[in-house]
Amino acid sequence: MSRGRVSLLLLAVTLAALLIACAPTEKEAYKRQFFSLGTLIEISLWDVDDERAAKAVRRVEEIVNDAHQRWHAWEPSEITALNTAIAEGQSLTLSPATIAALRRARELAAASGQLFNPAIGRLIALWGFHSDEPPHGPPPTQAAIDALLAQAPDMDALWIEGLHAGSNNPAVQLDLGAFAKGYTVDLAIAALRELGIENAIVNAGGDLRAIGSHGKRPWSIGIRQPADHSEGGILASIETHGDEAVFTSGDYERFFYFEGRRYHHILDPRDGFPARQVISVTAIGADGATADAAVTGLFVAGPDHWQEVAQRMGITQVMMIDTDMRIYMTAEMARRVHFEIAPPAGVFIAGESPRETR
């Protein structure tokens, strides 16, 4: 048995022992799940009576389903209507909710230096990621990619005036896939707070925002080990304090193999190809929208440039895993992360010179 498996087994035994030890006194959080935004949404509430909890879950469900319908990248939505208008040189009147989301996405894109660039919807579609079916290739031709890159769609080319939006660049096509989950989780947390709920997690497929605590202990969040299959297990855990968003972008979420090469869904807007060198990025941020946009931007920035992008986006807690399984972290993140299995290829802490392997 490999060392990783032995550690996992030990972890499972320890966890089971802990669970048994806690069983007589430990109350469970109230949990409900549903599907939306293309993923499993889970709401955890602590210390809320069942009636209020059920009302809170209904409210979150409304918010998330509304976001799904309003901002879907390829099913008819306000975003697809805006994309059609832009392609035809027109502008469109949108709902206040969509205008607010677009303003926020535009700010975050600017902060990332357009590495998080939700105006590259056409490129994402060209790679075949605008489908409910698993992507399959073939990859687009270099000529098709070059033709799109030459038109340089980015969020600076999106204008917003009141409730109107449009672009002078007909190649701008919005896809909020790298940001909508985070933005929506923030809306859900705000709604929970309005209902007087102070201890909760809204988790969208592993990306989440947690407020308050689980009674006397903090919420504990698992970070998945990056892997093409669901056997990845838990790489590390983090305890959240107060109000924090924990988001991960991974190359294992959507990908295809074509003629022996692997192509994933996080695209580098500069060369039009899936970003190289990184397999996953996790960030802890103050809100979901920033953390979600940041992990995508940091993924594209890669091991050599992520620190600049993190700084510009105001993110101080980052963990990046490269294709050789090396782990890069900010010192602040290193203090928070508890590894559940031994990191396989070294850990590098930013700012510690020379880089230190622990």
Residues that bind Mg ion (CB under 5 A): 178, 292, 295-296
d(CA 305, CA 307): 6
Residue among 82, 85, 300, 309 that touches ligand AMP (CB under 6 A): 300
- Is 177 among the residues that bind ligand AMP (CB under 6 A)? yes
Residue among 154, 175, 186, 287 that touches ligand AMP (CB under 6 A): 175
Cα within 13 Å of Cα(168), Cβ side: 2
Question: H or E stretch including 239?
Answer: strand 234-240
**Min dist. Cβ of residue 285 to ligand AMP (A):** 13
Residue 336 contact, options Mg ion, ligand AMP, none, Cβ 5-8 Å cut-off depending on partner type: none
Residue among 78, 244, 292, 340 that touches ligand AMP (CB under 6 A): 292
Query: Measured at CB, which residue is nearest to ligand AMP?
Result: 177
Residue among 269, 285, 288, 302 that touches ligand AMP (CB under 6 A): 269
The answer for 163, left when phi > 0, alpha when psi is -120 to 50, beta otherwise, is alpha
Beta strands per DSSP E along 241-356: 243-250, 255-258, 261-264, 278-285, 317-322, 327-329, 338-339, 347-349
In the bound state with ligand AMP, the residue whose beta carbon lies nearer, of 46 and 263, is 263
Contact between 299 and 282 (Cβ < 8 Å): no
The pattern of x and - marking residues 233 through 262 that bind ligand AMP according to CB under 6 A reads ----------------x---xx--------
Q: Which residue type, as a one-letter code, is found at position 202?
A: V
Stretch that binds ligand AMP, among 29-37, 46-54, 162-170, 263-271 (CB under 6 A): 263-271
Omega of the bond prior to 138 within 30 degrees of 0, cis?
A: yes
Contact positions with ligand AMP (CB under 6 A) in 82-111? none
Residue 265 contact, options ligand AMP, Mg ion, none, Cβ 5-8 Å cut-off depending on partner type: ligand AMP
- Is 296 among the residues that bind ligand AMP (CB under 6 A)? yes
Q: How far is CA 157 from each of CA 77, 106, 166, rounded to the nearest angstrom?
A: 21, 9, 9
Residue 253 contact, options Mg ion, ligand AMP, none, Cβ 5-8 Å cut-off depending on partner type: ligand AMP
Residue among 86, 99, 108, 124 that touches ligand AMP (CB under 6 A): 124
**Min dist. Cβ of residue 56 to Mg ion (A):** 25
**Residue 14, Cβ neighbours under 10 Å: how many?**
11
Contact between 95 and 78 (Cβ < 8 Å): yes
In the bound state with ligand AMP, the residue whose beta carbon lies nearer, of 81 and 195, is 81
d(CA 54, CA 34): 13
Residue 267 contact, options Mg ion, ligand AMP, none, Cβ 5-8 Å cut-off depending on partner type: ligand AMP
**Min dist. Cβ of residue 113 to Mg ion (A):** 15
Sign of CA dihedral 112, 102, 40, 33: positive
3-state secondary structure 246-263: EEEEECCCCEEEECCEEE
Residue among 267, 294, 298, 333 that touches ligand AMP (CB under 6 A): 267
* Residues in contact with ligand AMP by the rule CB under 6 A: 116-118, 120, 124, 129, 175, 177-178, 249, 253-254, 265-267, 269, 292, 295-296, 300
